[in-house]
Structure 1
Amino acid sequence: MSSLKFVPRRSEERGNADHGWLKTFHTFSFAMYQDHKHEQYGPLRVINEDRVAPRTGFGTHSHREFEIFSYVVAGELEHKDSMGNTEVLKRGDLQLTSAGTGISHSEKAHGNREVHFLQIWSLPHTARLQPKYFTRHFSDAEKLNKWVSVVAPVGSAGVSDSREGAGPAPVQSALTLYATLAEKGQKLEQPLKGKKGYVHVVQTSGFNVGKATGATVRIGGSKSSEELELKEGDGAYISLGNGGAGFVLENIGDKTAEVLLFDLE
């Protein structure tokens, strides 16, 4: 198996904006934040960590040719779209819209609480797909101290193309997304099959545009001596060389860490 190499993407270096109703971070170029060094990575095009104030949000707007999924961290997210889907998503919910030939949707904070979620876009391997919508739920108990596949390519083992159901949401991209809640002292390993990866530590302790704080993890490889320390909001590009390696995450802090791991072709 290949050894892993890491390039840190520090939280304070991400694009960020505070619009009052929206507090957001951009891992990759998005909207007013443009950085040619951070445009996309494999099929992964957008990781926005958004906090939307109560009863506000993104009005109806359109998308084409992207796989768009929302990972809800806290609060409730109200989704409406041109396919007739209306749903309130809560913590643990994963909603995936395959925009294909075109959809319109809105996303707003539901109720009297701020909603904190990650909006992630990937590039599909096939153009002009029929638009589809999926939701999945993954409880904290399911993710506690183990990696859970929450998004995976269509055709992968355990992937259903039903609108609702168990297992990962089906994506038309060469991307698998794992999630975990790693407690203090826990060390978790996850094999990666692609040639690239990306890891992101969710900023659960609050919006912070400065140097990352909060939960602290160390990442490395099962066959590599290279290690990197990350805190909330930090991420890292992962290179696997010829592909295939064991990714290792260890919580070395005092707080539970919520972490997303992308396995990319």
Structure 2
Amino acid sequence: MSSSTTASNPTFQFRPSQDRGGSNHGWLKTFHTFSFADYYDPAFENFGSLRVINEDRVAPSTGFPTHPHREAEIFSYVISGELAHKDSMGNVETMVRGDIQMTSGGTGIRHSEYNDNKKDEVHFLQIWALPNERGLKPAYYARHFSDADKTDKWAHIVAPVSAEGVIDERDAKGPTPIHAALNFFGTLLSSGKSVEHTLLPRLKGPGGNKLAYVQLVQTSGYNPRKAPTDGKGGALVKVTLGGQEATLGEGDGVFIRGAVTGDQLVVDNVGDKRAEVVLFEMDA
């Protein structure tokens, strides 16, 4: 039950995996949840502060050469493989499964992301959010969340830099700082298990209006066709909130509008495989 004085009237918008943008470039296999590069859909340009969610697979010994960014909060969340990061602030590191790096672009940075592994691809989520303030000094943060941190529970992976318990340092424990009213969670959900999440208070302003987006990561392999809806050949979860529900196959997502602080979001693994699920929660 919601603890907010704002009425909860949630609506669900299902986003099938096969409706995402993206393509197979050989060295890069990618899906775009929002308009990006050559993919444009006016219905999917942003959602709250979210601007980009790309599910990328980069082949061995290839990657994104050095390029600029500004006025964007950019983070990469590694699902499998190795991702080498270098930037104009002097940060150099190779990330592995469970690692996340946050680049706060601010007034401008340059960076590259490369797969130095000569045998295995790297699979990661590339996510951009719009900052709540322009002209920030560029910054970089790195965190690690093990499988144990996420097994059958939510790990709080990203949180606003001003939120309680967030440490504004390059390497630290706890959520990764972001200059946006956005929280990001991840779970590894066993078959038959469920996890609940209570929508958090707004970062600023009155009322309790919230947005949420849930996506089931496509961990069984690159598949541009329709995700399975019977749990065969991939994971399968059911998302519920306020009497609404959606069943997600791998790569599918659901946009949730009209929710409020205190609402209970539940994810059930209704398939026979472990499900890797990510949750974005934002102020409306």
TM category (shorter chain) comes to over 0.9
Deviations 1:7-45 (A, max 9, x none): 101100000211000000000000000000000000000
Preserved CA contact (<8 Å) 2:198 2:261:
no
Question: Paired residue for 1:139?
Answer: 146
The answer as to 2:160 corresponding to 1:153 is: yes
Structure 2 alignment gaps of length 5 or more: 3-7, 201-208, 229-233
Determine the C-alpha separation between the residues in 2 that align with 1:69 and 1:254: 30
TM-score (norm 2): 0.91
Deviations 1:186-206 (A, max 9, x none): 111001135101111100001
How many angstroms does 1:242 deviate by? 4.6
Number of aligned positions between the proteins: 263
Determine the C-alpha separation between the residues in 2 that align with 1:31 and 1:215: 29
TM-score (norm 1): 0.97
Determine the C-alpha separation between the residues in 1 that align with 2:11 and 2:195: 18
In structure 2, the CA distance between the partners of 1:128 and 1:171, relative to structure 1 (3 Å rule), is: same
Question: Paired residue for 1:54?
Answer: 60
| Backbone CA RMSD of aligned residues | 1.0
Counterparts of 1:155-234 in structure 2, within 5 Å, are 155-193=162-200, 195-213=210-228, 214-221=234-241, 224-234=242-252
The answer as to 2:33 corresponding to 1:27 is: yes
Structure 1 alignment gaps of length 5 or more: none
Determine the C-alpha separation between the residues in 2 that align with 1:172 and 1:75: 28
Deviates more, 1:39-48 or 1:192-201: 192-201
- Could you list the runs of 4 or more consecutive aligned residues of structure 1 that deviate by over 2 angstroms after TM superposition? 2-5, 240-244
Deviates more, 1:211-220 or 1:235-244: 235-244
Deviations 1:63-110 (A, max 9, x none): 000000000000000000000111000000010000000000000112
For 1:87, which of 81, 87, 93 is the aligned residue? 93
User: Percent of aligned pairs with the same residue?
Assistant: 55
Determine the C-alpha separation between the residues in 1 that align with 2:57 and 2:181: 28
Preserved CA contact (<8 Å) 1:196 1:243:
no
